[in-house]
Amino acid sequence: MSGGNSSRVTYLTVSDVAACLNVSKMTIYRLVRSGAMPAARFGRSFRVSEAAVDRYVHDAEIPGPET
């Protein structure tokens, strides 16, 4: 680990991401496999960073009508 770097990446399980976005785990697996949501693989499990989830949601937002 780097000694002076205090920023840490938080990784979520596929189940955590699915619960957060109110979708099925299969939906998250599809997003990961398609490359739409970057993930890290640890053994047989995928972990998704909070930043990747935030980016995905931000990119998926539909702009509202201008007022």
Give the tens place of pLDDT for each residue, 22-61.
999 999 999 999 999 999 999 999 999 999 999 999 999 8
pLDDT at 11 > cutoff 60: yes
Cα separation, 53 vs 19, in Å, equals 12
Tokens of 22: 């109110």
Determine the pLDDT at residue 27.
Answer: 98
Examine the pLDDT at 8 and tell me if it is beyond 60. Answer: yes
pLDDT band, residue 4 (cuts 50/70/90): low
Please give the residue that has the higher pLDDT: either 50 or 65: 50
